[in-house]
Structure 1
Amino acid sequence: MTRGVALLLALFLLCSSAGASRMQAVPDDDADVVAGWTAYRGNDPVRAMAHYRKAADRNNRVAQFNLAVMLLGGEGAKADPANGVMWLRKSAERGFSAAQFALALLYERGEHVKRSLDEATLWFRKAAEQNHLAAQVGLATQYFLGRGAPRDFKQAAHWYERAADQGDEASAYIIASLYEKGDGVEQDYPRAWFWYSRAAGSGDPAAVLKAREMRDKLPR
C-alpha cells in the first residue's frame, strides 16, 4: 500500500468513525414528514418528533429514519438509543439507503450496538448497491483492508471505481493507484492517468504529481 493510499484510508476511517453522530433528518413528500421537516427546520423538535412518529407508525421509511436521528441525538426528547436503533433498523430494512449507511457506521463503531464489522459490511453493501456514495467508499475500504470481509482487491477496486464515477476524488486516487500497480485490476496506465487526473481536479498536490508521472508513461 502506498503512503498516499494509506493516508487516504486513514482519513476515511476517521471520518466514518465520526459520521454516525452527524446524521441529519431529511425531507419527504408525506404530509406528516413535511410537517415534521418544517417544525424541525423551525427549531421545534417536539412538534417535529410528533409528526415523524405518526408517519413512522405508518411505515414511512424516511420518517423512521428521521425519528431515529432525533432519538439518537436527544432532539425533542431525552436521548433513547435503544428506540433510535430500532427505528433506524426498520428504515434500513425497508431499503432506505441513508439508514442502511448510518446503521453500518454504528456497527463499525460499536455505538449503541455490539460492534460487528461483518454487519457493517452487510449494511454498507445494501446502501452501496443503491448508489450511496459514502457506502460505496465504506464497502470498498472493508474489502481493501479485509475488515468484516475477506481482503479482496478486485471487489475493492470495483467499489472505489463506482464511487470515483460519482465524483469522489479520494476514491479516484485509490483506484488510480490500483490501476497503476495492477492490484485487483489489470495494470492499465491510461486508466491510472485518467483517475489521477480526476483526483487532481481540486488541485491536490499528490494527485497532480501522480497524474504528471502517469502521463509521461503513456504510449507515445
Structure 2
Amino acid sequence: MIPALVLAAGLLVSSAAGVDEPTASPAYGEAKARLVAGDPAGKPALEALAAAGDPDAQTLVASASFVGGGGFSIDKARSCALWEQASKARALAAHLHAECVERGYDGRPRDPTAARGLYKAVADRGFSKSKCALGNLLILGQGGPADPERGLALCREAAQAGDADAQTDVGDYYLRGKIVPRDVGEARTWYEKAVAQGQKNAHMTLGQIYWNGDGVPKDNARAAALWHVAYAKGRLDADQFLADEAFVRANAVKGQINVAAMDEAIDWYQKALARDPSLSEKLRPRLDLLLKIKAARS
C-alpha cells in the first residue's frame, strides 16, 4: 500500500487550488483507488495515465517518485519533470514544480529568482500555499530584494486561508521574533491551527513549547503526545525528545523507578543514537545510567 506520506504529498486538496481546473478523470479515480488499496494493477495504470498526459496521474506519480513507496523508486528529477508537465492543469503541480526550481530538486542549480516568478504565477491562480512560499523568499531576501513586511503579509494571507504550512511558518516567525515582536501566544495560536491539520513541524515545535512551559503551563504529557505524532509523520528527530520525556517519567518519583518508562526511554535513546551518532555526548550519559539501573534490577 502506498505510504501516507506519499498520499499527503500527492493528493493535497485545497479549496484555493483550482480556479476553473478540470475535474479528475474516472480512469484516474479508479487507478488511484487501486493503488491506495494495494492492488498491484494500480501503479501501472497510473503510470500509463501519466504517460498519456493525465495531470492528476502525473501529479500523483511525481509525488510517489519523490518520496518513494507503493512500488515507486525515488527519482526527484522525474518528479520535477512530471510536475512541470501537469503545471498548466493543476495548481498543486505548478507549486511543486516551483519548489523544484527553488531547491534544485531537478538536479539543476537552485534558482530562487525564477522560483519567485513561478510562485507568484501559481498564487495568482488562487493557490494559497504558493503565497507563503513566495513570502518566505521575500522575507529571506532570496532571489531578489528582501521585503519582510510584504513576505509576512503573504504568509498570513495563506495561513488565514487555511494552509497548514503557512500557519506553521507564521507561528515560527512569531516564536522567533525576528521580523515581528516575539509573541508566543500568537505563535501558539497558529501552531494549534496547523496541528489540527496534521502539520508535522507544528506538532514538533508546539511540543517544545509545552515541554519548556514557554508562555503556557509546562505540560510534559501534551508535549509527548505532540512529539509522537510528529515522529509518526516523519520527524524522526523527535526521538531524542521522546527519550528525555520517558526518562523524566522513569524518575518522576524519588527513590522509585517506573520500569515501563525506563524501558521506553532506553528504546528511544537507542533509536536516536542509531539515527544520529553525533548526539552521543548529549544522550549517552542518560542511556548508560538507565542501562546500569536495568542491569542492577535483573
- Name the TM-score, length of structure 1 as normaliser: 0.71
- Quick check: 75-84 or 130-139, which moved more? 130-139
| 1:189 corresponds to which of 215, 234, 259 | 259
In the TM superposition, 1:161-200 aligns within 5 A as 161-165=228-232, 167=236, 168-182=238-252, 188-200=258-270
Higher relative contact order (CA 8 A, sep 6+): 1
Q: CA shift at 1:207, angstroms?
A: 4.5
**1:192–1:214 Cα contact (<8 Å) kept:** no
Q: Cα distance 1:177–1:213, how it changes in 2: closer, same or farther (>3 A)?
A: same
Q: CA shift at 1:108, angstroms?
A: 1.2
In the TM superposition, 1:120-199 aligns within 5 A as 120-165=187-232, 167=236, 168-182=238-252, 188-199=258-269
Q: Cα distance 1:87–1:157, how it changes in 2: closer, same or farther (>3 A)?
A: same
Cα distance in 1, alignment partners of residues 227 and 98 from structure 2: 36
Q: Aligned residues, how many?
A: 190
Q: Cα distance 1:85–1:194, how it changes in 2: closer, same or farther (>3 A)?
A: same
Cα distance in 2, alignment partners of residues 135 and 38 from structure 1: 23
| 1:209 corresponds to which of 245, 263, 288 | 288
What SS class does the counterpart of residue 247 from structure 2 fall into?
helix
**1:164–1:171 Cα contact (<8 Å) kept:** no
Q: Cα distance 1:180–1:70, how it changes in 2: closer, same or farther (>3 A)?
A: same
- Name the TM-score, length of structure 2 as normaliser: 0.54
**1:91–1:99 Cα contact (<8 Å) kept:** yes
Percentage of pairs with the same residue? 23
Cα distance in 2, alignment partners of residues 76 and 212 from structure 1: 51
Q: CA shift at 1:117, angstroms?
A: 0.8
In the TM superposition, 1:1-220 aligns within 5 A as 30=91, 31-40=93-102, 41=104, 42-165=109-232, 167=236, 168-182=238-252, 188-201=258-271, 202-203=273-274, 204=280, 205-213=284-292, 215-216=294-295
Unpaired segments of 5 or more residues in structure 2? 1-79, 84-89, 275-279
Unpaired segments of 5 or more residues in structure 1? 1-26
Q: CA shift at 1:79, angstroms?
A: 0.4
Q: Cα distance 1:206–1:49, how it changes in 2: closer, same or farther (>3 A)?
A: same
User: Deviations 1:118-147 (Å, cap 9, x if unpaired)?
Assistant: 011222223334443432232122222221
**1:161–1:171 Cα contact (<8 Å) kept:** no
CA RMSD of aligned residues (A): 2.9
- Quick check: 133-142 or 207-216, which moved more? 207-216
